[in-house]
């Protein structure tokens, strides 16, 4: 993606700011993601096959046509950028390892593929898995068709126990961790290696001329090997189990990535925050509060962000609810407390008038 393209005029500057955010070296203002609806967008093109949820996700022609319509409708202001999610659904690593997907209107889930035990089911890279081959070809085609006008995001693979739970089921995985801890550690170690067999191929397909890459989840770009990492299953784990099973995998994974951001999902996972902050190669944290909770900018969550800043890591915060004035005020409160050096504020998609008001405040660093 060059400096001046149809979809993103200040891309080189945005890349510099992402690089500074990962290091905690921003100076003028926090990183700001702010897609703004155009006042007079081009009319969308008709997309044959768009009524089929499977084709919307797995047919590159349908998915790219929908993405072009999105590009026609929005300007990518501040540090936002156009990134195509060549993503079948979160957790596609489980597909490559034997699960079959169920494509619903607004989500994808996976049928379990390990029915009895992990004893005779080692985790191995499968070059010929049909879902992998289809997904990889889709990513490559999207990258080839981009012409540099937009990024193609690395799909949301998902890792460690979350992937094993997709393959084996949540209840069975709870029992497995208790009944067969050493076997589970072997499978986790295998999965850690297999993750990168797939990740590396996807990264090579989408990386820019300097090795930069964008990951599907949470609009993050980094000047190197970049990914979101997680363990949503951790809500069901004790702090002792998390340290025993998950921290070693995350430490290895983050150590092999250049830029990693952890997705902390829901109140049940907060008990593991201390262990997370001890993972030295982890670079940033994103907090998802969950249904029925206030957005990420609410003061209720400051105790989480305080610990992240104390650990010297970067923050990703969703400023998601309210009028233009309310969104600006939330951002100002966050900047007053955490400064700009390591802060990333992601705003919702907004109309032109709201976007202009937020951009004015952002130009002053929300001060």
Dump pLDDT digits (tens) for 228-241: 999 999 999 999 99
- Per-residue CA distances from 33 to 159, 335, 351, 361 (Å): 26, 15, 14, 13
Q: Residue 4: which pLDDT band, with cuts at 50, 70 and 90?
A: very low
Give CA torsion, residues 151, 155, 160, 162, to 10 deg: 130
Structure tokens at 79: 């540090």
pLDDT at 1: 41
Cβ atoms of residues 74 and 349 within 8 Å: yes
Contacts of the segment 291-296: beta carbons below 8 A, 24+ positions apart? 293/267, 294/321, 295/319, 295/320, 295/321, 295/330, 296/320
Structure tokens at 263: 């997705």
Whole-angstrom distance, CA of residue 189 vs CA of residue 184: 9
pLDDT at 5: 52
Query: For 296-301, what is the mean pLDDT?
Result: 97
pLDDT at 225: 98
Whole-angstrom distance, CA of residue 193 vs CA of residue 159: 10
pLDDT digits (tens, 9 = 90+) for 73-120: 999 999 999 999 988 989 999 999 999 999 998 889 899 999 999 999
The DSSP code for 196 is H
pLDDT at 321: 85
Look at residue 212 and tell me whether its pLDDT is greater than 50: yes
Whole-angstrom distance, CA of residue 216 vs CA of residue 292: 25
pLDDT at 148: 76
pLDDT at 147: 83
pLDDT digits (tens, 9 = 90+) for 133-173: 999 999 999 999 988 789 999 999 999 999 999 999 999 99
Q: Residue 217: which pLDDT band, with cuts at 50, 70 and 90?
A: confident
Q: Residue 3: which pLDDT band, with cuts at 50, 70 and 90?
A: very low
Cβ atoms of residues 330 and 336 within 8 Å: no
Tokens 């203002």, located at residue: 29
Question: What's the angle, vertex CA 257, arms to CA 279 and CA 301, rounded to 5?
Answer: 45
SS3 content of the chain, % helix, strand, coil (to 5): 45, 15, 35
Look at residue 290 and tell me whether its pLDDT is greater than 90: no
Neighbour count for residue 173 (Cβ, 10 Å): 23
Whole-angstrom distance, CA of residue 286 vs CA of residue 23: 16
Give CA torsion, residues 230, 231, 235, 239, to 10 deg: -100
Neighbour count for residue 44 (Cβ, 10 Å): 13
Query: For 32-61, what is the mean pLDDT?
Result: 95
Whole-angstrom distance, CA of residue 59 vs CA of residue 53: 10
Q: What percent of the chain has pLDDT over 90?
A: 92
Look at residue 2 and tell me whether its pLDDT is greater than 70: no
Cβ atoms of residues 283 and 259 within 8 Å: yes
Which of 268, 130, 135, 149 is CA-nearest to residue 205?
A: 135
Structure tokens at 122: 């080692």
Residue 222 pairs in a beta bridge with 213
Query: For 339-357, what is the mean pLDDT?
Result: 98
Q: How many residues can be counted in the chain?
A: 367
Q: What percent of the chain has pLDDT over 70?
A: 98
Look at residue 291 and tell me whether its pLDDT is greater than 90: no
- Per-residue CA distances from 252 to 113, 198, 225, 257, 272 (Å): 26, 16, 14, 9, 18
pLDDT at 149: 83
Give CA torsion, residues 6, 210, 221, 227, to 10 deg: 140
The overall average pLDDT reported for the chain is 95
- Per-residue CA distances from 177 to 53, 182, 255, 263 (Å): 35, 9, 24, 22
pLDDT at 218: 93
Which of 158, 159, 174, 276 is CA-nearest to residue 217?
A: 158
pLDDT digits (tens, 9 = 90+) for 259-279: 999 999 999 999 999 999 999
Which of 365, 306, 315 is CA-nearest to residue 337?
A: 306
């Amino acid at each position: 993606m060059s400096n001046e393209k149809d979809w993103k005029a200040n891309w080189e500057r945005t890349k510099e700011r992402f690089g500074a955010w990962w290091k905690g070296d921003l100076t003028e203002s926090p990183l700001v993601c702010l897609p703004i609806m155009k006042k007079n967008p081009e009319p969308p093109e008709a997309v044959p096959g768009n009524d089929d949820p499977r084709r919307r996700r797995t047919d590159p022609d349908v998915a790219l046509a929908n993405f072009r319509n999105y590009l026609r409708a929005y300007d990518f202001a501040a540090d936002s950028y156009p990134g195509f999610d060549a993503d079948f659904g979160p957790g596609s690593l489980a597909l490559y390892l034997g699960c079959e997907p169920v494509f619903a209107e607004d989500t994808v889930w996976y049928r379990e593929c390990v029915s009895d035990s992990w004893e005779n089911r080692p985790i191995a890279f499968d070059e010929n898995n049909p879902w992998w081959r289809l997904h990889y070809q889709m990513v490559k085609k999207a990258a080839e068709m981009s012409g540099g006008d937009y990024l193609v995001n690395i799909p949301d693979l998902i890792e460690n126990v979350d992937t094993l739970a997709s393959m084996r089921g949540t209840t069975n995985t709870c029992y497995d961790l208790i009944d067969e801890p050493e076997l589970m550690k072997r499978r986790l170690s295998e999965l850690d290696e297999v993750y990168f067999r797939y990740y590396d191929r996807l990264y090579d397909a989408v990386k820019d001329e300097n090795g930069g890459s964008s990951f599907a989840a949470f609009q993050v770009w980094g000047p190197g090997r970049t990914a979101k990492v997680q363990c949503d299953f951790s809500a069901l784990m004790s702090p002792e189990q998390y340290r025993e099973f998950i921290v070693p995998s995350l430490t290895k994974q983050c150590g092999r990535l250049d830029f990693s951001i952890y997705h902390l999902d829901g109140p049940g996972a907060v008990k593991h925050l201390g262990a997370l902050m001890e993972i030295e190669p982890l670079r940033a944290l994103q907090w998802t509060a969950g249904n029925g909770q206030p957005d990420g900018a609410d003061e209720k969550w400051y105790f989480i962000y305080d610990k992240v800043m104390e650990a010297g890591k970067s923050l990703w915060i969703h400023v998601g609810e309210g009028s233009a004035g309310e969104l600006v005020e939330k951002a100002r409160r966050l900047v007053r407390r955490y400064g700009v050096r390591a802060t990333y504020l992601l705003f919702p998609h907004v109309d032109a008038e709201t976007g202009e008001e937020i951009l004015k405040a952002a130009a002053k660093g929300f001060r």
